[in-house]
Copies of this chain bind each other. A is one copy, B any other.
């Protein structure tokens, strides 16, 4: 299941230390102006090596469009996007070949497939999100043509909310050889009402799946989220007025369908599992071992997850948008 979406279908491929990563998009509308320059900025935002707070692995991460456009415009045929890997210091990982890194998918991939590319996590690496960001950036572009914007921001790092405190938390974690997590919020503006499908294609369920599918995410909230569980109905219901809804506790979605308000989603991002401290683990033979992960790692993945969360949300919203388009002609006929 490396495909996301029913209408705007994204299939990703590639391992952290393989030849290339990429995505094929099937169902891209024709007639959209699209070039590498529309996609590259999103890749640059998730790229490592951009500040002292993130991993120093310095990949160029240049995206190339292999098919699906003609003279700078999408043709409706599959878009193939590719990013070649260049800076593959696979040797860094030789010591880890038979060890399961705690908090990583090493053990579960081994349990599932019996075989795995151990270099940098292979397919389970955070580097896989590069494919999603490339594809999601195309979705962001198309949504933009329809007046829909998707913007993410950091709300918390290790429980702290102020900008200086958040940076300090990351630096402190890095200096201790440890890591920290945080909370990211994504807001969609300009979304028309009527997107999302009952009962199993609800927009909030689609967003939840999209966001929970990002490696480090352990929780998803829509609107007031867990706080809604502690409110009363009279507080939590959003009154309707002739000018629109008077509040937005629901986060822009009712019964799985967009209300036309801002869509608000928040995710809990766990601390990066790669830490420079000794940890207990076992090897493939089940024997007790100690592991200390060297190499180039992020003390906090949260900043780099922001564009990934935007892109995954964009994919979910665009998919619902195209789904609704199918029936628009019938609704207009009716009126």
Q: Are A275 and B234 in contact (CB under 8 A)?
A: yes
Task: List, in ascending order, chain B residues with CB within 8 A of A226's CB.
Answer: 183, 218-219, 221, 226, 268
Task: List, in ascending order, chain B residues with CB within 8 A of A113's CB.
Answer: 30-31, 75-76, 331
In the complex, 29 of the A-B residue pairs with CB atoms within 8 angstroms, ordered by the A residue number, are: A1-B26, A1-B201, A2-B200, A6-B6, A14-B80, A22-B66, A30-B330, A77-B117, A107-B254, A108-B253, A108-B255, A111-B257, A112-B195, A178-B234, A181-B228, A181-B229, A205-B209, A206-B209, A208-B208, A208-B212, A224-B270, A229-B269, A232-B271, A233-B271, A239-B281, A242-B286, A322-B327, A325-B329, A328-B329
Q: Are B122 and A70 in contact (CB under 8 A)?
A: yes
Q: Are B198 and A32 in contact (CB under 8 A)?
A: no
Task: List, in ascending order, chain B residues with CB within 8 A of A159's CB.
Answer: 229-230
Is A102 interfacial (CB 8 A cutoff)?
yes
Task: List which A225-260 residues lie within 8 A (CB) of chain B.
Answer: 225-242, 246, 250-251, 253-260
* A178 touches which of B68, B232, B260, B287 (Cβ 8 Å): B232
Q: In whole angstroms, how far apart are the Cα atoms of A273 and B228 in the complex?
A: 11
Q: In whole angstroms, how far apart are the Cα atoms of A75 and B253 in the complex?
A: 20
Is A190 interfacial (CB 8 A cutoff)?
no
Query: What are the nearest 3 A-B pairs in CB distance?
Result: A105-B255, A1-B201, A179-B233
Is A309 interfacial (CB 8 A cutoff)?
no
Task: List, in ascending order, chain B residues with CB within 8 A of A29's CB.
Answer: 326-327, 330
Q: Are B240 and A67 in contact (CB under 8 A)?
A: no
CB proximity of A306 to chain B, nearest CB, Å:
14
Is A104 interfacial (CB 8 A cutoff)?
yes
Identical chains bound together, number = 4
Number of residues on chain A facing chain B (CB within 8 A)? 155
Q: Are B30 and A117 in contact (CB under 8 A)?
A: no
Q: Are B219 and A15 in contact (CB under 8 A)?
A: no
Task: List, in ascending order, chain B residues with CB within 8 A of A236's CB.
Answer: 103, 181, 270-271, 273
Q: Are B228 and A268 in contact (CB under 8 A)?
A: yes
Q: In whole angstroms, how far apart are the Cα atoms of A156 and B256 in the complex?
A: 24
Q: Are B326 and A111 in contact (CB under 8 A)?
A: no
Q: Are B3 and A200 in contact (CB under 8 A)?
A: yes
Is A9 interfacial (CB 8 A cutoff)?
yes
